[in-house]
Amino acid sequence: MSTGKICCLVLLTLGVLAVVVALVVILTQPKCGPQHYLHGAVAADSETCSVIGRDILKSGGTAVDAAIAGLICTSVMNPQSSGLGGGVVFTIYNASTEPCNFVSYQQSSSATCITLLHRAHMAMHSSGAWYTSPLICDGQRLLEPGETFRWPALQQTLKAVAENGATAFYEGQIGQALVEDIRKAGSGISLEDLQAYKAEVSSALNITLNSHTTVFSPGPPMGGAVLMFILKILEEYKLHEASLATPKEKVETYHRIAEALKFGNMLKPHMSDPAFSDTQSHKGSITLSASALGEKPPSAMVPSILISKTGDMLVIGGAGGAWIISATAMVSEQEPHSNASH
């Protein structure tokens, strides 16, 4: 054989080998269809923040670390949704508590840390004293499309927290500046209140849907009970794909959903801090009276975890004020049925 032919044969063999190796690699890859991920996924409300959360997971962080990173990023990308001065509630599922039998005896708890500042923040909003979206206004001027918005105060705040940790927020200059700022809006919160703040941990509420999917959600003053009320009403209608098959069925199904959401949302005024059961109605503005200090304000935040008997899991939550519970209910409602068909 000539050198040319040998060369050709070698190249051909190499080519075939490469194709085989590629096929083996592709075929032995675990299949990850849409909504299925091998290790984990992070979906924040912007791609930038999702990527930051995912990178935290990849570098060995926990789901809670990734959630916090995503939240801090969101305070930059979507500052109207999230920020260091707001409240936060986590629903945490600890798989290592039941590593082998994580199907029916999951431990779930929600760590609630609504800061006092959340209350002050809401009071400032409801008094109308302070609310112009910094994203479209720079002082008195509207930003042009594509123009970069700079927020030096937020930059300094995040830098201080990155360098000095939580003490910068609760005790340091940021805490002092915050107390000073909200005092001007009528708050009685002191730096001592900030320093004494402790996150609370309590058990999540749970219900089981269709004897198949357990839903974990935070209890009052968060929206878990309202969400569960809606899901339990809808469970009775046994909605499935055929429920939307004909125009007549569609009308009936959407009517039922609308009614369930309506009756659920009517219960929202009852979401108050159980530790302050004789509280006044929360419909109006929130007052910062000394007697109510420490009471957690009602919130529609409803981070939820759905776990099916087959081990499928949906972790869901989101920003959106008055829309949160309805939106969460709609996504949760789809999940148990899609799982049941697997």
**What is the smallest separation between the CB atom of 208 and ligand NAG, expressed in angstroms?**
9
Closest C-alpha among 330, 305, 336 to residue 109? 305
Least distance in angstroms from the C-beta of 93 to ligand NAG: 10
Interface pick for ligand NAG out of 94, 190, 243, 279 (rule CB under 6 A): 94
Q: Which helix (H) or strand (E) holds 308?
A: strand 304-308
Q: What residues contact residue 80 under an 8 Å CB cut-off, 6+ apart?
A: 133, 135
Contact 298, 87 (CB under 8 A): no
Does position 96 interact with ligand NAG (CB under 6 A)? The reply is yes
124 token code pair: 């400032």
We find the least distance from the C-beta atom of residue 300 to ligand NAG, in angstroms, to be: 22
Nearer to ligand NAG, 164 or 206 (CB): 206
Pairing of strands 108-113, 137-138: unpaired
Site pattern 206..235 for ligand NAG (x: CB under 6 A): x-----------------------------
- Do 44 and 70 touch, CB atoms closer than 8 A? yes
Size of the site for ligand NAG (CB under 6 A): 6
Shorter beta-carbon distance to ligand NAG: residue 136 or 201: 201
- Give me the half-sphere count of Cα atoms (radius 13 Å) on the Cβ side of residue 143: 13
Using CB under 6 A, which of the segments 30-38, 91-99, 286-294, 322-330 binds ligand NAG? 91-99
By CB under 6 A, which span of 78-86, 89-97, 256-264, 315-323 interacts with ligand NAG?
Answer: 89-97
Q: Could you tell me where the beta strands, DSSP code E, fall in 101-223?
A: 108-113, 137-138, 141-142, 200-203, 205-209, 213-217
Contact 147, 135 (CB under 8 A): no
Q: Give the phi and the psi of residue 236 in degrees, each rounded to 5.
A: -65, -30
CB of 290 to ligand NAG, least distance (A): 34
Q: Which of 13, 35, 80, 97 binds ligand NAG (CB under 6 A)?
A: 97
- In the region spanning residues 256 to 275, those forming contacts with ligand NAG, defined by CB under 6 A, are none
User: Which residues of this chain interact with ligand NAG, rule CB under 6 A?
Assistant: 94, 96-97, 106, 108, 206
